[in-house]
Structure 1
Amino acid sequence: MFVPEGRPTPNNDVGIKYNVKQRPFPEEVDKIPLVKADVSIPDLDDIVSRELEIQHDKLRTLMTKQIEYENSLERRSDEILKSKPFPDPQTDCKPPPPSQEFQTARLFLSQFGFLSLEALKEPNNSRLPPHLIGLDTSLPGFFDDISYLDLLPCRPFDTVFIFYVRAGQKSSSEILRNVESSATVQPHFMEFLLSLGWSVDVGCHPGWTGHLDTSWSLNSCSDTNDIQQAEEAGTPEDTGGSVFNGERKVLYYADALSEIAFVVPSLTESSEQSSVHSDSTVEADTNTDLMPGILRQHNLTLELFPNHSENLESAKKLSPFVRTKRSSTGKPYPQLGPETKVFVVWVERFDDIENFPLSDLLAETSTGLEASLSNSTSCRSVLLEKEVPLIFIHPLKTGLFRIRVHGAVGKFGMVIPLVDGMVVSRRALGFLVRETVINVCRRKRLESDLYNPPHVRRKHKITEIVQRYRNKQLEPEFYTSLFHEAGDGKPHL
């Protein structure tokens, strides 16, 4: 936890203090010879009588006592000041409270120069609206369109799923169980994870979190003791990386052009159910293949196979590709372009790359951007297996790491900086993997003919909102609406 440093204690030690008697005139004045005019005014000792001398002595005594009294007060005030704590709440300077009288929207418009007569005028010989317009918020659907605009990201987003494969492992359940404990992974693997990005809380993160339902929203974080204890127990030191499985935390990296969520899938309840009911899923697929032959027989009905509908429903529930693009509130998500998903696999033995269960682990890597129900699940899964780029990392005994790249070659050629067969150092591993992921996902978006950059989609949506909800007003009416008094007596925009 970051604790800010306190204010420094004042230091009254200013060094050696010299008692210098100040002269009213410079020393050169004493070298000037006197004239008769200089002695025209007699000295005080020459004209003082006995009575005046008594008064002078009395005045001199009062001045001496006053000087001693003032010096004692000064010493006493210094002692009191040293005994008080620093900073003194009574004398400490505090910033004034922020003003609540102004409105931030009008202040923003005025500071950036939008509140001007030229900003309200429409350009000549152009269909573009003026730089500053008013929107009618009373029209139906306005806030739905604003919420839709908030769901459009401002940068391309990518997702990286990281797996750890021990020597000789072939099943997905064993691979997912490796990251549950730090004793089952190599120390360099944890160092590699922390070099990819920084840890963020899914509920409080405003960016991409690896899944569409929890991204780009500031959800309320619960402060209950149970959640705090669970988060303290799930630190990266206690686990092999499963704390970053996307449920509460992920590893996040972002720059001005892209953002990446690094997710370490672990064995969850849904994963165990999918492995237990794998036989029923296969049976559902075989029954689905028999469906056309059954429907051609008019004397037979689906009631002859009472378990077929149940198996089909269970297959739909277990498959991640049949999820509809809807949020938790039931609103459909906008089209966000092709799904950019990359697998990074840490293998202890290089020969296990050929036995990596890609099709089984695809079910554990849902991002919310999967195809809708209209597409075939089996065809879609085969297509995804060919499209998903794989980056295998194998630690060598020399302390270096051997790279194996699969599926990262498209119609634009090979992606760099990591290439197949390269050997990299421990210091450069995290940076090179991250840059390769960014380039792979960027190439994949370029290969899609239907992809539009995020800023283009947001610009089109803003133009649509302006055309649909524009409130055409005269200049006096517009400025009057800015200072319109609301029901609580405060101006609103």
Structure 2
Amino acid sequence: SAVSKFRYFVVENSTVLALLEEPLGNDQDPQPTVTLLIRGGFGRHAWTLQLRHLPRHRSGTKYQHTPNPGRPVPLEDPPPRPHSRHKYFPDSVERIPQCKVDKSIPDLDALFLEDSSGELSELSRLLEKQVVGERRDSSPPCTMDPERECAPPPPCHEFQTARLFLSHFGLLSRLDSNQEPGVPPLVALDTSHPSFCNDLEALDNIGCRTVNTCHVMYVRAGQKQPEHILNNVLSESTVSPHFLEMLLALGWPVKVSQHPGWTGHVATSYKLAHGTTQGDSATESLPSHGGRLFNGDSHVLYWADVSAEIAFVVPTVSRKSKHFDEFQQQDSVWYERSLSACEATDKPRTMSLDLEPHKDPRWSRRHPPTTVMLVWLESYEDHLHFPAAEMMAYTTTGLETQTGPKAQDCFVIFLHALNSGLLRVKLQGPTGRMSIATPLVDGMVISRRVVGSLVRQTALNICRRRRLDNDSYQPPHVRRRMKVQELVSKYRCELTQSELLTYLLTDAP
């Protein structure tokens, strides 16, 4: 399998690194290359790194290996050395007349004649033997190769790129024999275990961001019936132009069939359909609308950051209801994000937006989502008669419990346009509970230029506060980190520092 081609490590007991050492045999640009898969608390990412001798803007100048780097040619004939005989005494010493004192020390020849013990003869024999041996060793043998010029070694074509990456990023320098007991900063994982692939897939299916939904409505003066309120967005003439301006400030429009993230309902989220759906072709016949385009059938308004994603849906009476009944009888465990059943014509998302599958491949809901409504009022007094309970039937996301959402748990953000061009804010939440969420405050007046960002951040803070009310709630990044720690406890290779370095120096299986 592909997993066996990677080397898996865990850094700081929170991040999984998968390193692939690619061979360079068929590469047109032979550079040491390593493919890196990073699985952390905030998703997974893929990187490809290359070790280059030159920067990319100079990639046209290829590094050519030359056997002769162009050093100067050495001199074959050494210069002549003058031969001189060293003298121990000056030449004038021979002309000095000798006296009896000069003959008191006998010369060496006289000592040899008087050698009765034979010690001087033995010493002379040893000296001659040593001279012969030194002359033999100093003379070059006939079989020795002639002197050759030093040449650089041939270029290397295979690199231990996993070791180079870990070394260059300082992950190997932190390994020492005096480290504290526990999990070391770098741990190798055993990929030969049969259940390793399943646990790795479970980690990939844990979402890294929370999902939120906000439903936007337009209420004309004196309207109290849900059908009349929902029909206002069918035409551009029945809504204020400032309302359409606010819609585009909430997020960016995305096509449901081509969007890989959250779309406001589990039936259409995290799927990439092949071809164009009927909803896509129908949107072309809506050149002017009052927000009906973003009812979730073909388009929604979407916004996301590193920790959360939110979809703004403008519900209508004619919204497709085929996805709302198939989730009525489900009873399973709710995850922050779960994987919906994919049809044969759908392409499931395989990046950091993936959801966590359950034994029953359906959405589950232990904790129901927070219902947030954004209502534009032409008359400020209409917030007293807004039919929030009747509107709950048009704000389903597929994550609700069997009993359905309750009107007393709904959060409503009212916006009323003043004659001065400013917007008056009215917040309505569950009674008897702490329902204040910044940056919007009940009774404040804001400008149309900032209404999009303020409303979006307030809706996210409301949903985040409801999640934190549950003591057992775990954010997505915490759940991913705990899954990584589970991988370490199950598949950790007990290696010493020297054994880990030996593992890096050996070829991958």
Match of 1:260 among 296, 310, 313: 310
The equivalences for 1:326-365 within 5 A come to 327-329=340-342, 330-331=360-361, 339-365=369-395
2:282 corresponding residue in structure 1: 230
Question: What's the CA shift for 1:426?
Answer: 2.0
Q: Tell me how far apart the structure 1 counterparts of residues 283 and 503 of structure 2 sit (CA, whole Å).
A: 51
Instruction: Give unpaired runs (5+ residues) of structure 2.
Output: 1-26, 38-47, 50-161, 343-359
Distance 1:362 1:318, change over 3 A: farther
Moved more, 193-202 or 251-260: 251-260
1:24-423 alignment to 2 at 5 Å?
Answer: 102-105=33-36, 110-111=164-165, 113=167, 124-128=179-183, 130-136=185-191, 139-140=194-195, 142-215=196-269, 217=270, 219-224=271-276, 229-234=281-286, 237-268=287-318, 317=325, 327-329=340-342, 330-331=360-361, 339-371=369-401, 373=402, 377=403, 381=405, 384-407=406-429, 414-423=436-445
Question: TM-score normalised to the size of structure 1?
Answer: 0.57
Specify the SS of the correspondent of 1:455. helix
Counterparts of 2:326 and 2:508 in 1: how far apart (Å)?
56
The one-letter code sitting in structure 1 at the alignment partner of 2:234 is E
Q: Distance in 1 between matches of 2:220 and 2:420?
A: 19
The aligned amino acid for 1:153 is G
C-alpha distance 418-233 of structure 1, shift in aligned 2 (>3 A): same
Q: CA deviation at 1:405?
A: 1.0
How far apart are the structure 1 equivalents of 2:192 and 2:283?
Answer: 42
SS at the partner of 2:284?
Answer: helix
Q: CA deviation at 1:417?
A: 2.8
1:431-475 alpha-carbon deviations (Å, 9 max, x no partner): 322232233223323322222222111111222233334466754
Deviation at 1:317, TM superposition (A): 4.1
- What's the C-alpha RMSD, in Å, of the aligned pairs? 3.9
More helix by share: 1
SS at match of 1:105: strand
Largest Rg, 1 or 2: 2
Query: For residues 224 and 262 of structure 1, do their structure 2 counterparts lie closer, same or farther at Cα, with a shift above 3 Å needed?
Result: closer
1:134-167 CA deviation, whole Å, 9 max, x = no partner? Answer: 3426624x44444443343323432211111223
In the superposition, the TM-score normalised over structure 2's length comes to 0.55
Alignment partners' CA distance in 2, 1:333 and 1:232? 32
Shifted more, 333-342 versus 184-193: the winner is: 333-342
Q: Which has the higher strand share?
A: 2
Q: Distance in 1 between matches of 2:294 and 2:418?
A: 26
Q: Distance in 2 between matches of 1:177 and 1:323?
A: 34
The equivalent of 1:442 in structure 2 is 464
Any conservation in 2 of the 1:402–1:423 contact (CA below 8 Å)? Answer: yes
Q: Distance in 2 between matches of 1:161 and 1:99?
A: 54
Could you tell me whether the CA contact under 8 Å between 1:345 and 1:392 is conserved in 2?
Answer: yes
Tell me the alpha carbon deviations over residues 224-273 of structure 1, each in whole angstroms, 9 at most, x when there is no partner: 49665334335xx52222222223322122334433221112223656x9
Aligned mates of 2:245, 2:219 — CA distance in 1: 16
Distance 1:335 1:320, change over 3 A: closer
Deviations 1:95-128 (A, max 9, x none): x977799452395554464796567889844332
> Quick one: which amino acid aligns to residue 222 of structure 1?
H
Structure 2 CA distance for partners of 1:406 and 1:427, relative to 1, 3 Å: same
In the other structure, the counterpart of 1:11 is none
Q: Distance in 1 between matches of 2:480 and 2:366?
A: 11
Distance 1:116 1:169, change over 3 A: closer
Change (3 A) 1:365 1:123: farther
Distance in 2 of aligned mates of 1:438 and 1:352: 25
Change (3 A) 1:204 1:453: same
* Cα distance change on mapping 1:112 and 1:136 into 2, 3 Å: closer
**1:74-110, CA deviations, whole angstroms, 9 ceiling, x for partnerless residues?**
xxxxxxxxxxxxxxxxxxxxxx977799452395554
Cα deviation, residue 333, structure 1: 5.6
Indicate if the aligned counterparts of 1:213 and 1:368 stay in contact, CA closer than 8 A.
Answer: yes
CA contact (8 A) 2:425 2:441 kept: yes
Structure 1 residue 400 displacement after superposition: 2.4
Mapped partners of 1:122, 1:363: distance in 2: 64
Residues 1:116 and 1:342: Cα distance change in structure 2 (over 3 Å): closer
Which deviations, in whole Å up to 9, do the C-alpha atoms of 1:187-206 show, x marking residues without a partner?
11110100111112334434
Q: Which amino acid aligns with 2:374?
A: V
Distance change >3 Å, CA 187–CA 426, structure 1 → 2:
same
Identical columns (%): 39
- Which has the higher mean CA deviation after the structures are superposed, 200-209 or 238-247? 200-209
